[in-house]
Amino acid sequence: MLRSNVRRAATLVAALLCGAAPASAAGPPPLPKERLAAAAAYSAEHDGLALIVWQRGRTRLERYANGGAKHVEQRVFSVTKSFWGLAALRMQQDGLLRLDEKVSDTLVEWKDDPLRREILVGDLLGMQSGLDPAYALLDAESTRDRGATVLGVGALAPRATEFRYGPANMDALGLLMTRKLAAHGSKLTPFGYLTRHVLRPLGIRPPFWKNDLSGTPYMASGARLTARDLLRFGRMLNRRGRWHLRRVARPEAFDAMWRGSAVNPAYGLTCWLNRPAARDDAEEVDVEAILNAGGTYPGWERACFSRAAPPDTVVLVGSYNQRVYVVPSLDLVVVRQGKGTSFRDAEFLALLFTERRAAAAAARPGTSRCARRDGARPRPSSRDSRGAG
């Protein structure tokens, strides 16, 4: 009896150390193996490099194809944004900034501009600042200092009235973080802060990061990471900031991160949301196609990645179909890296969640075929943050 109790206690401790739920705990059923195999085949057929499925404390599937490998770092493009989003939320936790403060209190060069002086820090993270995305200006190889350059980027609309996705928001955030850290007497750069408070606690080796000529990191799209690195980040998000026995961020940070805005309910703070899937009139959209076409879409309140996937699915999106899907209700993280443009979220997720799609269709009479908006899907620019970035 004593030996049995000791074994049970050891199992519980091991599960907690791994950031996993104990095997005996009640929880969502695992995804069927045949669903995982079908999703893996689809990913590989559509230029997938890596696919990892983690659920309830263990890796259910890990496959590489088309030249991908477990130790090979790949460009993750705009998935980069979510790392900076979490770093900004951690800075708020540390008292270094507030999401509801005006950016112009720190970027004082904007004080005299009637639109830019009203922008809040949270507007930058939610892509609702009204700033011109400024792809061509900021992504030009000749741009020496993105931080200094973004000070001259104008606003095209008042804050919180339009969703405008692009690098200007992130470069403004980077400059704000630089000044905030200096004002509080820290010798850390934003990248140093990210490394100390996000990457290192997760066991992610500081990755290669594309910098401009002044050494300023590309905030919107500069990181190269392995699929396993992305899995660590996704698992921490899934547990609302917990990694093993430590916290990278407080749970309430994710209430903000995963809350959509009035101008785009499908976008939180540097991450995409599947919440509109709960609506009867939800439309499955190809987010990369929309962003590559300029980012304008009239029905963001109905836009979802998949009606088959749970509405609490959070999606980190990067060009060429880099994805991290986090589904807290299923204790599930899926990492996908790719190099092509034929992959579709709705098709991939339908393979993982076939049973849910059938149930959703049955619950919505007359909607057995989900509304779907693909649009033209031009190949993303070779520049770093064009489109999904």
pLDDT one-digit tens code per residue, 23-72: 445 688 999 999 999 999 999 999 999 999 999 999 999 999 999 999 99
Looking at per-residue pLDDT, the higher value among 8 and 330 belongs to 330
% of the chain at pLDDT higher than 90: 83
Rounded Cα distance between 92 and 84, Å, is 12
Look at residue 48 in the predicted model and tell me its pLDDT. 98
Looking at per-residue pLDDT, the higher value among 143 and 366 belongs to 143
Structural class in CATH, domain 27-373: alpha beta
pLDDT one-digit tens code per residue, 309-361: 999 999 999 999 999 999 999 999 999 999 999 999 999 999 999 876 555 55
Query: Which of 16, 3, 32, 46 lies closest to 347 in space, CA to CA?
Result: 46
At residue 386's C-alpha, the angle toward residues 384 and 389, to 5°, is 65
Tell me: pLDDT of 1 over 90: no
Question: What are the sequence ranges of the domains in the chain?
Answer: 27-373
Averaged pLDDT for residues 360-373: 48
pLDDT one-digit tens code per residue, 247-262: 999 999 999 999 999 9
Burial class for 19, CB neighbours closer than 10 Å (0-12, 13-18, 19+): middle
Look at 92-96, 180-184, 333-337, 370-374 and tell me which has the smallest mean pLDDT.
370-374
Tell me: pLDDT of 134 over 70: yes
Q: What DSSP line would sit under 231-262, residue for residue? A: HHHHHHHHTTTEETTEESS-THHHHHHT---S
Cβ atoms 60, 31 nearer than 8 A: yes
Tell me: pLDDT of 189 over 90: yes
Q: If you average pLDDT over every residue of the chain, what do you get? A: 90
Residue count of the chain, please give it. Answer: 389
Helix (H) or strand (E) run with residue 288 in it: helix 287-292
Look at residue 223 in the predicted model and tell me its pLDDT. 97
